[in-house]
Amino acid sequence: MDSRELTAALEREFGGTEAVRRTVARQARDLADSGRIAADRGHELTVEEVLEELSDAPEDHDLAERWNWWIGSLETAYGGYERFTVRFVDDGPDVNA
């Protein structure tokens, strides 16, 4: 899985902040590298599959919520996916005027 290609595709399809896109792409790469998708679903994880799965999430979900929605579905179906959940994204220091 090419995380740069996924990051660009996530920006085109879902927007969100750069930090969230990078975090989701990193989690997707870790998921692909783990071999879980291949073992459970019989094929390697692709950028196209990630986009398709995230597109199935409820429309009112932001990118991180879409990712977690899909990971939750995988957790329910197969187990062992919780570690790929996005729990926290650091968008940088808070700016208060």
| Res 95: pLDDT | 38
**In the chain, where are the structural domains located?**
3-84
Query: pLDDT tens digits for the chain (97 residues)?
Result: 899 999 999 999 999 899 999 999 999 999 999 999 999 999 999 999 999 999 999 999 999 999 999 999 999 999 999 999 998 766 655 434 3
pLDDT of residue 91: 60
Per-residue confidence (pLDDT) for residue 96, from 0 to 100? 42
Backbone torsion region of residue 17, taken as left when φ is above 0, otherwise alpha when ψ lies between -120 and 50, otherwise beta: beta
| Max intra-chain CA distance, the chain | 52
Q: How many angstroms separate the CA atoms of 24 and 91, rounded?
A: 13
Predicted TM-score of the model (pTM)? 0.88
